[in-house]
Amino acid sequence: MRKKQPSFHGFPEKERAFSPGSRTTRASRQYRPVVTNEAMHLVLRSDRARGAKSLLKYDLVVRKVIAKLASKHGVRIYRIVNAGNHLHITLKLSKQFLWRGFISGVTGGIARALGFKRDSAKQGFWRSRPFTRVIAWGRDYNVVKDYLTLNQLEAEGAVPPRAQMLRPERWRHVVLAFS
């Protein structure tokens, strides 16, 4: 007779290695792609950036922090989209070893600028590790550019949320009106 597969119901969620939302646990860490010959799409998400501490209210401060650290670390910024609780940044690195200093400076600088301090008992400012994706030049870059435009329009309230606007043909005319 085969043994029954053990269930996870008896374990707390923090101890489940592959439970949803536990990408920060030690067992599930993987390296995110970082390259120098292609552009990259970086997403920083914070659940604590809501209401009075929304990233939209501190947009100028966030952009200054990113621009200062980009010039210091030799990172070329193509586009920054602030969506309130998360940031989309399209960038290109000049040297791979500069990534660690840039990303730690940006995440810490933005959290400090918004007035958050690290408490041992509470969760940090950022939800999880930064998400990066390599963007090939050409069609892939244009797809990401359209996605960022849609995200920015959603944050400004110019178009309804993505659930209602699934195809670019339905919102591209709005982009032309704002251009």
**99 and 154 housed in the same domain:** no
Residue 60 lies in a domain: yes
Residue 25 lies in a domain: no
Residue 6 lies in a domain: no
**58 and 99 housed in the same domain:** yes
Q: What is the pLDDT of residue 22?
A: 47
Q: What is the pLDDT of residue 30?
A: 62
**129 and 165 housed in the same domain:** no
**79 and 141 housed in the same domain:** no
Task: State how many domains the chain has.
Answer: 2
Q: What is the pLDDT of residue 66?
A: 93
**116 and 141 housed in the same domain:** no
Query: For the chain, how many residues are written?
Result: 179
**152 and 171 housed in the same domain:** yes
Model pTM score: 0.70
Residue 17 lies in a domain: no
**45 and 128 housed in the same domain:** yes
| Mean pLDDT per 10-residue interval, the chain, length 179 residues | 56 47 52 82 83 81 93 92 88 90 90 74 72 87 86 77 61 64
**63 and 79 housed in the same domain:** yes
Q: What is the pLDDT of residue 166?
A: 59
Q: Which domain holds residue 107?
A: 30-135
**123 and 145 housed in the same domain:** no
Task: Kindly report the CATH number assigned to the domain that includes residue 74.
Answer: 3.30.70.1290
Residue 3 lies in a domain: no
**129 and 142 housed in the same domain:** no
Helix (H, G, I), strand (E, B) or coil at 7: coil
**127 and 65 housed in the same domain:** yes
* 51-56, Cβ contacts within 8 angstroms, sequence gap of 24 or more: 53/114, 53/115, 53/116, 54/84, 54/85, 55/82, 55/83, 55/84, 55/85, 55/86, 55/87, 55/110, 55/114, 56/82, 56/83, 56/84, 56/155
